[in-house]
Amino acid sequence: MPTTAKICGLTTPETIGAAIRGGSSHIGLVFFPPSPRHLDFDRAAGLAAPLPDSVTRVGVFVDPDDAMLDRAIAAGRLHTLQLHKTAPARVAAIAGRTGLECWSAVAVRTRADLDEARHFIGAATRILYDAKTPPGAALPGGMGLRFDWNLLDGFRHPLPWALSGGLDPVNVAEAIARTGAPLVDVSSGVERAPGVKDMDKIAAFLQATQA
Ligand SMILES: O=C(O)c1ccccc1NCC(=O)[C@H](O)[C@H](O)COP(=O)(O)O
């Protein structure tokens, strides 16, 4: 199976267009006010309205409440919810309440961190392994940090999964070859400044993913 790609933290029609033209399977819309990629509901609605359903729209959240989810789902016409720092029971409740696919982000620095993924069986439909950000960091993701891919060697994945954290157009092919990731996710690696996506880097990332 070819590896598919999610371009995360898109904020403009132009960069969403670049992701779609380049063959991205998923686009990520961030709903977390401290993030430089945060979208308010009106902005998200404007971006999502013209999009075809062939590209999966993923809303990215940090332990969201129901009101946030309801407004974001409606605005972004979301297919999938990517949940950071959200306990397994809450993920299960969100999946049941919304009927949407839920991905759980697992923050990885050590091999023991990977075991967290098993707690999401029956709740999440996919695990996104992402680099753990430092204590006190403003964001739980989107910081261009990479974890040691060797940690995934021999790991028995309890659920479908995706690789994230510090990927870019230069290293993504190696990451796929090294880990066998079925889906890769990128944000800062296709930006020219925090929150500012670069269309050429998006194209290069997607080309490298498909090579
Ligand atoms: O990107 C954000 O600003 C963000 C904010 C809050 C929670 C999650 C966030 N990003 C999650 C992602 O899916 C990123 O693509 C992932 O962490 C990889 O980011 P990067 O290492 O910058 O490629």
pLDDT of residue 69: 98
Strand partners, 83: 61, 104
- Determine the Cα angle at 41 with ends 69 and 198, to 5°: 105
Task: Specify the ligand 1 atom closest to the Cα of 28.
Answer: 13
Residue 8 is a catalytic residue:
yes
- CA distances in angstroms from 202 to 101, 114, 149, 206, 207, listed in the order given: 25, 28, 22, 6, 9
Render pLDDT for 13-23 as a digit per residue (tens, 0 to 9): 999 999 999 99
Query: Ligand 1 centroid to 15 CA: how many Å?
Result: 16
C-alpha 103/C-alpha 90 separation (Å) is: 12
Q: Which residue has the tokens 């006190």?
A: 136
Output the six-digit token pair for 1: 């199976």
Q: Whose CA is nearest to atom 19 of ligand 1?
A: 142
The answer to whether the predicted template modeling score (pTM) of the entire model surpasses 0.95 is yes
Find the mean pLDDT for residues 28-54.
96
Residue 102 is a catalytic residue:
no
Query: Ligand 1 centroid to 108 CA: how many Å?
Result: 13
pLDDT tier, 2 (very low <50, low <70, confident <90, very high otherwise): confident
Q: Of 102, 130, 168, 185, which one is the catalytic site residue?
A: 130
C-alpha 113/C-alpha 151 separation (Å) is: 10
Strand pairing report for 26-30 and 56-62: parallel
Q: What is the CATH superfamily name and number for domain 4-210?
A: Aldolase class I (3.20.20.70)
ipTM value, please give it: 0.98
If one residue of 187, 205, 206 were mutated to test the ligand 1 pocket, choosing by the most ligand atoms within 8 A of its CB, it would be: 187
